[in-house]
Structure 1
Amino acid sequence: MTNQNPTDRLRNQIKEVVEELHLSPSVYQILKYPKHTFSVSIPLEKDDGTVENFTGYRAVHSDLLGPGKGGIRFHPDVNQEEVIALSMWMTLKTAILKLPFGGAKGGIIVDPNKLSKRELQQLSRQYVQNIEPVIGPQKDIPAPDVNTDGRVMGWMMDEFFKLRGRNVPGFITGKPPVIGGSEGRVEATGHGVVVNILQAMNKLGMDKGDNKVAIQGFGNVGSVTAQTLYEKGLNVVAVADIDAMVYDEEGLNIPEMIDYAKENGSLKGYTSNENSNEIFEVDCDIFVPAALENQITEQTAPKLKASIVAEAANGPTSGEGDQILAEKGVFVIPDILCNAGGVMVSSFEWMQNDSHDHWAEEVVNDRLEKDMAKAFEEVFSMKEANNETMRHAAYYLAVKRLGDAMFARGWVD
């Protein structure tokens, strides 16, 4: 197998499924490229009076099922190909969940830790100023992603209001509840990951109390996943962030670790830390990659001892790594299903904004759990019917729904 970038790998997977389903070749041609990509240069005046240019992107892969939907990330490794790949994953993700959205993604090449609060806010506002023509509640709806949160969404919403001259809360999701955000949105992705893990454990006959969990990544998704698993009685034995790994075969005190990470910025210095890359060698039954792309590779996949891999991050497994996991018989819950809780609750937020309603957190969480469990069951049933992996079954369902929608709209014969 040759090395491929995520975009090419996605295209090959989509093409394979289109051919398997005997769909019109036009379906693949439509899904092969994004509808549009937008690249912007943002000259930011720094606190010392100097000006530094930052590059930002926004891509809409598809608006077949509805307006584009996808997060905005701030990271030094952001690039246009990554943004396109992530927008393609969003198209598949929303199709699996039967949400009224297409796929989109955005980002800025920046290390937010090197900016002051004022600089970060100004960069966020200037980004919105630049992409304003291509976003909106019926065109493309941003949300948080890596290194962005409700505070950043609030700044962006405020800037969009100024540009439009009116209140348009549904233009962005992941906002603080006080300005129209949904209860439970911050925790939604992690909660969805846990729903998928519990569903998989049930299918595989695994008992909660007898299984060990290792989590790579301790940001929003990783920490919420760890906390929720901890509360549900699972034994989280290892957690790693970019600086360190913490391991205890008897189980970790997750609430204490979350407090420590918030206070110190990372897990470095919490007990006797080990190298974060050693997370792949931990003796565990469930492994949760909740960091960045391409973490489970041909180098790391052979080291994993887990029976279940729950992809809390987007694209954490390379093509080579995925093949190795399949050969080992590992039950992989693919990213386009596993981490879809965030976009699901974003859809709830969008609906609440549209109807000028506000749901209680219990209502949000109950609907999230039911809808995620239903989506898991549909993918699992497809897997069992075709004796395929969960990833292939998820792609099969998503592409079939997209193909059916294209036919219904007259895009293909």
Structure 2
Amino acid sequence: MTQTEERTPTTTDRSPGEHALADALAQLKFAVDLLGYGDGLHQLLASARRETRVSIPLRRDDGTMEVLTGYRVQHNFSRGPTKGGLRYSPDVSLDEVRALAMWMTWKCALLDVPYGGAKGGVTIDPRLYSKGELERVTRRYASELQPVLGPDKDIPAPDIGTDEQTMAWIMDTYSVNAGYTVPGVVTGKPVSIGGSLGRSTATSRGVAQVALAALQHVRVAPTAATAAVQGFGKVGASAAQFLADAGVRIVAVSDQYGAVHASNGLDVVRLHEHVAVTGTVLGFADAEPMDPDSLLTLDVDLLVPAAVEGVLNAANAADVRATVVVEGANGPTTAEADQILRGKGVLVVPDILANAGGVIVSYFEWVQGNQAYWWSVEEVEERLHQRMLAGWTAVVESSQQLGITLREAATVIAVQRVAEAHQIRGLYP
């Protein structure tokens, strides 16, 4: 059961998804205006090539049935098959997925990965469902989208609420329907069935690498730096560990349940062990509980928002005291907050650069799968490091040459690459 969704206008009383889409469109308009593109090209870049909504009937373990809603937005095909995560969250909406798919297009182009952007989501709170129920949701979602997925069409990956097991279910469902094993239909899957070494921590490693480069840029040595990490999950937890390994003092972290603080620095290794046992950072013996919202305004050198969209906004941006903000999450800083932080002199490293490590190593996984030849973890991490630093250097140089922010520079570089690909290919028919 699929149908194409029409875009609905936003209102002044916007949902988080509508805010995210408005911000993505505003960033695109800035780049289009600076590059001097006409209205037609602007409209093409602003519009998703395909938007699909699917109904997902689910039989619960108790025998009752409910119907969930899933989305997949494929934003642009000009540079290759589309690529993007699949998230399970009660907050998933079509506008949110539209924004995330557009940001994925720019992310892939900025890091010179030969993909367009896509994103998917199911409006579900995975904490309220059994593993068997989540498997049935995943397989039905994949089955409904089978015609538009594929290693040369659109390649999902894990995101909020999903993991390598989710990708294994999608791969198996797609392969069973195809009649043969298709490992390249997803990335971020278990190594035992064709996943890449280094993929599980790739986003976090990239965030840490760019954060260290940004600290160096503002002349703060890692061993003298303090940091707060909002979101101790897939991205934030390992990013905190990599930063701590480099000598950064992690003074506060938070998760969906609360936050903890230690002015002398958290023992991140022991915190990982605590979370593995309890499921939350709360109750960690060597730290004090704190208000999670206050973490965002701590007096630190580095702030890493690594949870969800819109956490830095007009209400709290003026109180941010970090010198550098590195966006581990997608869209954590609203347009209003961006302007406020710019006025305060805060260096904001945008998500399409900072958290691109995941899609880079997803690309490596896809390449390895196509070649049936696997790289060592050292090869993966070295190639990731090269790509991240090349992206950082290009964005900083463009920012300085044009006198614009890092986010604006990153978007301009990416939009120009996508537009050039479209123009070279031409318009069919």
Deviation at 1:10, TM superposition (A): 1.6
Which of 220, 225, 228 is the aligned partner of 2:242? 228
Among candidates 275, 278, 282, match of residue 264 of structure 1? 278
Equivalent-residue separation in structure 2 for 1:361 and 1:127 (angstroms): 32
Q: Secondary structure at the match of 1:291?
A: coil
1:80 corresponds to 2:90? no
Structure 2 equivalent of residue 302 of structure 1: 318
Following superposition of structure 1 onto structure 2, how do residues 61-72 of structure 1 map, counting pairs within 5 Å? 61-72=75-86
CA apart distance, 1:180: 0.2
Structure 1 counterpart of 2:20: 6
Match of 2:4 in 1: none
What is the Cα deviation at residue 193 of structure 1? 0.3
The gaps in structure 1 that reach 5 residues or longer are: none
Deviations 1:148-194 (A, max 9, x none): 11111111111111111111111100001110000010000000001
Measure the CA separation in 2 of the matches of 1:380 and 1:83.
28
1:177 paired residue number:
191
TM-score, structure 1 normalization: 0.97
1:289 aligns with 305
Which residue of 177, 184, 190 maps to 2:204?
190
Alignment partners' CA distance in 2, 1:27 and 1:353: 35
Within the candidate set 135, 144, 158, 2:149 is matched to 135
| More divergent stretch after superposition (215-224 vs 263-272) | 263-272
Which residue is 1:101 aligned to?
A: 115
Q: What amino acid maps onto 2:317 in structure 1?
A: A
Query: Which residue identity is paired with 1:194?
Result: A
Q: CA deviation at 1:199?
A: 1.2
1:259 corresponds to which letter in structure 2? E
* Residue of structure 2 equivalent to 1:277: 293
Matched, 1:385 2:417: no
Q: Does the CA-based 8 Å contact 1:243-1:275 persist in structure 2?
A: no
Shift >4 Å, 4+ stretches: none
1:31 is matched by which residue type in structure 2? L
Letter in 2 for 1:156: I
Are the equivalent residues in 1 in contact too, given 2:297–2:322 (CA < 8 A)?
Answer: no
Q: 2:126 aligns with which of 101, 112, 115?
A: 112
Tell me the CA shift for residue 50 of structure 1: 0.6
Distance 2:266 2:281 in 1: 13
From 205, 213, 216, the equivalent of 2:230 is 216
Q: Which 5+ residue runs of structure 2 have no aligned equivalent?
A: 1-11
For 2:171 and 2:278, the matched residues in 1 are separated by 30
What SS is found at the alignment partner of 1:240? strand
Identical positions, percent: 42
The equivalent residue for 1:20 is: 34
Q: Which of the numbers 311, 331, 355 marks the counterpart of 1:315?
A: 331
Query: Residue 383 of structure 1: SS of its match in structure 2?
Result: helix
Are 2:122 and 1:121 aligned? no
Deviations 1:246-275 (A, max 9, x none): 111111010111111122111122234222
CA deviation digits over 1:217-241, x for unaligned, max 9? 0001000100111111111111011
Query: Counterpart in 2 of 1:90?
Result: 104
Contact 2:310 2:332 in 1 (8 A): yes
The aligned residue for residue 46 of structure 1 is 60
Work out the CA distance in 2 between the residues paired with 1:122 and 1:371.
37
Describe the SS at the equivalent of 2:204: helix
The DSSP-based 3-state class of the residue aligned with 2:189 is coil
1:331 aligns with 2:347: yes
Distance 1:362 1:394 in 2: 28
1:245·1:278 contact (CA, 8 Å) conserved in 2? no
Q: Verify: 1:351 aligned to 2:367, yes or no.
A: yes
Is 1:371 aligned to 2:387, yes or no? yes
Deviation, 1:20, is 1.3
Is this contact kept in 1: 2:223–2:246, CA < 8 A? no
**CA positional deviation for 1:25:** 2.7
Confirm or deny: 8 A CA contact 1:96 1:375 kept in the other structure.
yes
TM-score calculated relative to the size of structure 2: 0.94
Contact 1:23 1:403 in 2 (8 A): no
Q: Is the CA contact (8 Å cut-off) linking 2:230 and 2:305 kept in structure 1?
A: yes
Q: Hey, what does 2:357 align to over in structure 1?
A: 341
- Name the SS of the counterpart of 1:146 in structure 2: coil
Cross-structure match for 1:400: 416
Deviations 1:274-294 (A, max 9, x none): 221121232211000000000
- The one-letter amino acid paired with 1:364 is V
Q: Aligned AA for 1:326? A: R
